[in-house]
């Protein structure tokens, strides 16, 4: 049996593993910058590859800083410079990288290729976003929700907009933590029925609608994301379909009084969200971005089986 774990999807973890990562993240965040933080060095002597096939600011910086804070050394590689998946097979890339580094964090659109990489790697692989999912983001989102609102269990979360990778990871989270998840998308961009059926089969409380107002009514958090994700080709069609899913002050007013607004960023202000909401009192987006760092430090410790005191 291998002595490490991969972090590819929240759906791969047990509920207690996932909530354990969130609890570790909160503990590490609380002692960051204090003398007590010296206990958080599970990556001492370890080198971690950060491989990016697509652009990134938050994922790149938060992993780089997090790896250093945990005592490790990051190595940044772009997919372009190694011609990922072109110059040699993904399997051979995985085998070779495993001889150099102690873990691989990778962003690549093709989820099946990321899984293939994990199959042939002999070190932990962490999903830094694929076209299918963005689990590190949703770990940070839930950390943010729980800091601002309290335990997610029993609360209501509303998603409005496209059904994309971030949404998929939220659906996976809904199978681990019992909360109500209302999803509003245009019918043409509805989530994959198999994803929703599988999640409901595992007890997730998910409501689908095409009406953003119905989704956000009384919700504790309103979440959206860009209308055009990396790799999407039908920009004009998406903008037309998604126009009425914008989060503006009128939509936020339908949520609970203390509801927070979340967005993984980068945001296209004026499309999926207005400036007034992004910069308004309910916006948690910059805490969310910061929490990528804390959540990922907990993920990095977890893949090596390190205990966070
Ligand atoms: N939210 C997020 O993953 O941002 P980046 O694309 O900048 O990494
Ligand atoms: N859904 C977005 C998230 C970016 C962090 C994308 O995939 O481009």
Per residue in 188-206, pLDDT (tens digit) is 999 999 999 999 999 999 9
- pLDDT reading at 37 higher than 90: no
pLDDT band at 40 (very low <50, low <70, confident <90, very high): confident
Is 137 annotated in the active site? Answer: yes
pLDDT band at 291 (very low <50, low <70, confident <90, very high): very high
For residue 308, the model assigns a pLDDT of 87
User: Cα(129)–Cα(284) distance, rounded to whole angstroms?
Assistant: 21
237-259 pLDDT per residue, tens:
999 999 999 999 999 999 999 99
Is 264 annotated in the active site? Answer: yes
Q: Is the pTM of this model over 0.95?
A: yes
pLDDT band at 1 (very low <50, low <70, confident <90, very high): very low
Q: In the chain, what percentage of residues exceed pLDDT 90?
A: 95
For residue 3, the model assigns a pLDDT of 87
- pLDDT reading at 89 higher than 60: yes
Alpha carbons within 13 angstroms on the beta-carbon side of residue 84 total 20
158-183 pLDDT per residue, tens:
999 999 999 999 999 999 999 999 99
Q: Which of 78, 136, 265, 289 to mutate to test the pocket of ligand 1 (most atoms within 8 A of CB)?
A: 265
pLDDT band at 143 (very low <50, low <70, confident <90, very high): very high
Nearest CA to ligand 2 atom 7: 229
Is 134 annotated in the active site? Answer: yes
| Cα 292 to middle of ligand 1, angstroms | 9
- pLDDT reading at 233 higher than 90: yes
User: Cα(250)–Cα(151) distance, rounded to whole angstroms?
Assistant: 26
Which ligand has the shortest distance to the CA of 226? 2
Q: Which of 54, 55, 56, 226 to mutate to test the pocket of ligand 1 (most atoms within 8 A of CB)?
A: 56
Catalytic residue selected from 9, 113, 137, 238: 137
Q: Which of 229, 266, 267 to mutate to test the pocket of ligand 1 (most atoms within 8 A of CB)?
A: 266
Ligand 2 contact, 239 CB (< 6 A): no
4-26 pLDDT per residue, tens:
999 999 999 999 999 999 999 99
For residue 2, the model assigns a pLDDT of 58
For residue 38, the model assigns a pLDDT of 85
| Average pLDDT of the segment spanning 68-83 | 96
Collapsing DSSP to helix, strand or coil, 39 comes out as helix
Beta carbons of 48 and 300 less than 8 angstroms apart: yes
Tell me the average pLDDT of the chain. 97
Nearest CA to ligand 1 atom 6: 56
Alpha-carbon torsion 200, 149, 138, 97, what sign? negative
- Token reading at 1: 């049996």
| Average pLDDT of the segment spanning 81-87 | 94
User: Cα(163)–Cα(168) distance, rounded to whole angstroms?
Assistant: 7
């Amino acid at each position: 049996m291998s002595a490490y774990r991969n972090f590819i999807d929240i759906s791969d973890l047990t509920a207690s593993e996932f909530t354990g990562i969130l609890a570790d993240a909160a503990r590490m965040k609380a002692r960051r910058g204090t003398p007590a933080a010296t206990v958080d060095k599970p990556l001492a002597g370890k080198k971690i590859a950060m491989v990016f096939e697509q652009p990134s600011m938050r994922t790149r910086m938060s992993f780089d800083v997090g790896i250093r804070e945990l005592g490790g050394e990051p190595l940044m590689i772009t997919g372009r410079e190694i011609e990922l998946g072109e110059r040699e097979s993904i399997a051979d890339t995985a085998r070779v990288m495993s001889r150099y580094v102690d873990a691989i964090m990778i962003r690549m659109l093709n989820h099946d290729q990321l899984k293939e990489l994990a199959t042939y790697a002999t070190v932990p692989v962490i999903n830094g976003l694929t076209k299918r999912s963005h689990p590190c983001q949703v770990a940070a989102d839930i950390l943010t929700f729980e800091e601002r609102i309290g335990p997610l269990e029993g609360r209501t979360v509303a998603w409005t907009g496209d059904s994309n990778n971030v949404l998929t990871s939220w659906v996976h989270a809904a199978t681990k933590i019992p909360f109500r998840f209302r999803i509003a998308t245009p019918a043409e961009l509805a989530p994959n029925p198999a994803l929703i059926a599988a999640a409901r089969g595992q007890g997730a409380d998910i409501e689908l609608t095409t009406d953003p107002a119905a989704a956000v009514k009384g919700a504790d958090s309103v979440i959206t994301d860009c209308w055009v994700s990396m790799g999407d080709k039908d920009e004009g069609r998406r903008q037309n379909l998604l126009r009425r899913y914008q989060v503006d002050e009128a939509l936020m007013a339908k949520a609970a009084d203390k509801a927070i607004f979340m967005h993984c960023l980068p945001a296209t202000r004026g499309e999926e969200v207005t400036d007034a909401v992004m910069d308004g009192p309910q916006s948690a987006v910059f805490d969310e971005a910061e929490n990528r760092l804390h959540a990922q430090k907990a993920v990095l410790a977890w893949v090596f089986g390190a205990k966070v005191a």
